[in-house]
Chain A
């Protein structure tokens, strides 16, 4: 099977940029990373149909290009579209709720990261919330 080198390089660049962006904390960058990743995968599917240049329909002496990967790519595009719409809604919601465009810190995880002895605490929730503790002090 012959493949086009340019397409392979383009796919690899898109893929690595996508992965890089997905590793960010900002949700919007994650969305962009997901879009790049999706496009690179569509390219990958297209590359798998072999070399370019053959007609999509009709009798040619060389035969026609493989239509199946194109159908895959189309389906994948639709799915990517739907999921990114949902992601946008999620980002919007997250922004409205907390004015933050970031993946928030999981408090339970953060507590474990600090090496705290969770079992000795009464309740992880209250201990990870310094403000509530302060309020409590104040009311006392």
Chain B
């Protein structure tokens, strides 16, 4: 069954090539993209079962044996993340197709979207498969170049500006990664992860520390941990909703995956674990404080994304089997939940015309289903008991308690505070967007909201009389751009005015069916994680066990012929 492994990279790349050739046939393009990713899901799921039964699968590409050739390695961690990523990629693709089918959307996927998306998929899947550092670098570059295109999709001014931050930061991260690959090669004479793991113990302490730190910084930028996360809330929210969703779900997690590999296989000694715990605490707290102060849903979600990266780093930093297992479980949970939340925010933008909490409102009446779709993943991310977020956090806290060091307890404290503040931030969105009636400001003062203009053009309804009455100012419903500052201020600051300006469902565009269907599937998926939490946690624990004994990985890669297994 080893031929399945390269298929995960080859199929999306070939699909991308074919889709690129079919630029004029959008339907065919779409069909190919969906089929390719569906195949990837099936293959990844098969591998997940196979690996759990028979142990690590290693493929030596081109028949060159391990230290010389390129190895593709699927162990339990890889297989698990491959399956989750492939499923998320497929879901988000369906979401973007739904968005494209709905008429007059500036975010409608252009023809280049599908091929680029497939290249991104190939990069993400290849990163999880890579058995040597250089292949990991190539995978990173593949997904990064695709992400450069996706984040500047359409090339509007705002996106170019946001994209520049993202691209330059990523370039520097890649340069650091390449430099550390060069240095690792100079120090150990190999880039094969298994062989590095064998040889690194023989290096002098300071050389190890230098290589370890450089790689950690390079991966840390990708994973968006605290001092290196500044670029994320600036660049993610401007991209189209499905692009943000897939970036939030997968790109940072590829960085986390690399950090897990680095800390368990490449440098198994607990050299930098305290640093990692400190970074985890800062990431959680700074991230969530950023989230609390935001008024834009997408920016707020980007900040919660950063803060929850801290939980995964915490699990890795504990350096024990239970800690790593919890980190792996939390990664899976977070991929699904964060992507779902971004998809929901995409639908909210669609329905409410904006993502600013100041002008959203009344969505509960306008779209009760959407409200439910928001509430479930929000509780999940905040860690309310029945959901997987609670299970993941409980696992992390238990691992920290087992560790028992003062620093571990500090991270537990930070984790609890972060969960509460996350819940607070997400409930503020709930209050503003769903619970309260639609504020009058939105209808009355189109230019004052952060929404895209087209959302308002679609709802040119006369302004509610109450606004002009209260402020006693002249007001022209037709030329609504001339609304006064006073009217705007009064209506925005006092939601009471909003109540008289009754909620009119006509303001909202109707729920786009396909988007809602896909989002519902995503929400159900995140709930399903709770249902299968037992087996999943068991799988994560087995993955962590094999990670924490790097010998098994080394033996699987080096001590076998093509397609050998370790158990």
Chain A positions near chain B (C-beta within 8 angstroms): 1, 22, 27, 30, 34, 37-38, 41, 44-45, 47-48, 68-69, 72, 75-76, 79, 82-83, 86-87, 90, 93-94, 97-98, 103-104, 106, 109, 118, 122-126, 132, 136, 139-140
Contacts and interface: CB of A to CB of B under 8 A. Distances in A.
A94 B164 contact: yes
Interface string B470-487: 000000000001101100
A27 B358 contact: no
Given A41-B178, A86-B148, A93-B155, A69 B185 contact: yes
Nearest 5 pairs of A and B residues by beta carbon: A48-B186, A44-B182, A139-B482, A45-B182, A97-B157
A103 B134 contact: no
Given A83-B171, A94-B160, A126-B447, A68 B148 contact: no
Contacts of B178: 41, 45, 76
Nearest to A48: B186
B28 interface: no
Nearest to B170: A83
B299 to A, nearest CB: 9
B234 interface: yes
Contact of B448 (A90, A106, A122): A122
A21 to B, nearest CB: 12
Size range of the chain B interface in the assembly: 35 or more
A83 B175 contact: no
Nearest to A103: B164
Which of A30, A38, A126 has the most chain B CB atoms closer than 10 A to its own CB? A126
Contact of A123 (B155, B157, B163, B358): B358
A123 B485 CA distance: 11
Given A27-B164, A83-B145, A123 B175 contact: no
Contacts of A90: 148, 152, 160, 163-164, 167
Nearest to B133: A72
B182 A41 contact: yes
Contacts of A124: 295
A86 B160 contact: no
Contacts of B155: 93, 97
B141 interface: yes
Interface stretch (B51-59, B310-318, B320-328, B488-496): B488-496
B158 to A, nearest CB: 9
A50 to B, nearest CB: 9
B172 interface: yes
Interface of B: 134, 138, 141, 145, 148-149, 152, 155-157, 160-161, 163-165, 167-168, 171-172, 175, 178-179, 181-183, 185-186, 191, 234, 293, 295, 356, 358, 447-450, 481-482, 484-485, 488-489, 492-493
Contact of A1 (B141, B160, B186): B186
A124 B234 CA distance: 15
Which of B148, B149, B156, B183 has the most chain A CB atoms closer than 10 A to its own CB? B148
Contacts of B182: 41, 44-45, 47-48, 69, 72
Contact of A103 (B165, B489, B492): B165
A2 to B, nearest CB: 12
B171 to A, nearest CB: 6
A38 B179 CA distance: 10
Contacts of A87: 167
Which of B149, B171, B482, B484 has the most chain A CB atoms closer than 10 A to its own CB? B171
Contacts of A41: 175, 178-179, 182
9 contacts: A47-B182, A69-B182, A75-B134, A79-B138, A83-B148, A98-B157, A103-B164, A122-B448, A122-B488
B54 to A, nearest CB: 31
Contacts of B481: 139
A34 B176 CA distance: 12
A72 B181 contact: yes
A87 B164 CA distance: 9
A122 B172 contact: no
Given A41-B178, A75-B138, A106 B234 contact: yes
A79 B185 contact: no
Given A38-B175, A72-B181, A87-B167, A132 B447 contact: yes
A41 B179 CA distance: 6
A109 B165 CA distance: 13
A76 B180 CA distance: 13
Given A72-B134, A72-B182, A139-B482, 5 more contacts: A22-B172, A47-B186, A69-B185, A103-B168, A122-B488
Contacts of A103: 161, 164-165, 168
A132 B155 CA distance: 24
A37 B179 CA distance: 10
Contacts of A34: 171, 175
Contacts of B160: 90, 93-94, 97
Which of A1, A45, A103, A106 has the most chain B CB atoms closer than 10 A to its own CB? A45
Contacts of A79: 138, 141, 145
Nearest to A138: B482
Contacts of B175: 34, 37-38, 41
A122 B148 contact: no
A106 B160 CA distance: 12
Contacts of B356: 123
Contact of B168 (A30, A38, A139): A30
B168 A22 contact: yes
Contacts of A1: 186
Contact of B493 (A22, A48, A122): A122
Nearest to B299: A108
B446 to A, nearest CB: 12
B155 to A, nearest CB: 5
Nearest to B184: A48
Contacts of B134: 72, 75
A125 B450 contact: yes
A39 B5 CA distance: 34
